[in-house]
Amino acid sequence: MRPVLGLALAFLTIGSLGAQETASIPASQSQLPKIRIAAGGGYAFLFKNYDELSRMITQDDDLTTNGSLRHNYALQLDAQYFFSKHFGVGLQANMNHGSIKSMEIHHYRSPISSVGGTYFDHARYQTIFYLGPSFNYRLPLKRFTFLGEIGFGGVFYRQSINDKHSNDKLSIRATRSSIGGNLGFGGEFSLSRSVAVGLKVSANIGSVGVPKIKDETGYFGESFVEKLVGEGGSVSCLMITAFISFQTGK
């Protein structure tokens, strides 16, 4: 929760400076664009470690992984309307996605051969999508503008597991939705009156319950599939993104 509290404190601090900085804004900036659209991408860090995969057969199995469900890439889109020099409302959408491939080898002895084995070689894909309205703040300082936002909306979780190479084929889809929040701040540098580039630090806050599972193969028992998918939990994440924005309207 420390990163979230830090973001909230920064948002409130920047907001309290608005009235003080108004006098320092040149007269040419008295008519700022009302519409702002920004798109960007970068890095997302999930607070919950989804990379800790449980072994499907026994704890003594050999398990190797490649990739990550905790260190993801992030995409963001903002559409905002400012009804005053400092304050506005908007719509925030973001997505973070990661994948991990794992192979589990189970060794055993059988009456026919001294050593036998089976394995699971599956790829797991995880996507977390957020969409919701936002309350926005901006603090223009000549060619640089501080930005802040806070909002609440829907969180949509999706996980897919595919195993097409091992002894037993596997194809599972798991989904869940919930209500969460978004908080962020950043800054942008104006290249022209209508185009700017910048950096943004933001966080999604939320959690989901046990995902709804669709087993497209039906080869495995319900308890095995539930163990493979997991019990849900926190989908909160911290995102650092670079963006480009377009502004228009007076």
| End-to-end CA separation in angstroms for the chain | 39
Q: Tokens 């377009």 appear where?
A: 246
Q: What angle do CA 47, 52, 57 make, to 5 degrees?
A: 155
The tokens describing 59, both together, are 């704890």
114 assigned to some structural domain = no
Instruction: Examine residue 59 and state whether it is found in any structural domain, yes or no.
Output: no
Give the pLDDT of residue 233. Answer: 84
Q: Which of 157, 170, 153 shows the shortest CA–CA distance to 227? A: 170
Q: What is the model's pLDDT at position 116?
A: 47
Task: Tell me how many domains the chain contains.
Answer: 1
- Residue 208: inside a domain, yes or no? yes
* Residue 164 in this model has a pLDDT that exceeds 90: no
Q: Is position 107 within any domain?
A: no
Question: Which range is most confident: 27-41, 89-103, 159-173, 183-197?
Answer: 183-197
Assess if residue 201 is contained within a domain: yes
Q: Is residue 33, in this structure, part of any structural domain at all? A: yes
Amino acid at 72: N
* DSSP string covering 22-50: HTTS-GGGSS--SEEEEEEEEEEEESS-T
Task: Note the pLDDT of residue 231.
Answer: 74
Which domain CATH number covers 221?
Answer: 2.40.160.20
CA-closest candidate to residue 238, choices 67, 70, 15: 70
Alpha helices by DSSP H, listed for the chain, are: 2-16, 18-22, 222-229
- Amino acid identity, position 31: Q
110, part of any domain = no
Domain of 34 in residue numbering reads as 2-54+69-102+123-248
Residue 95: what pLDDT?
96
Say what the pLDDT of residue 90 is: 96
Residue 20 pLDDT:
46
Question: Are 99 and 122 within 8 A, CB to CB?
Answer: no
Q: What is the pTM of this model?
A: 0.76
Does 205 fall in a domain? yes
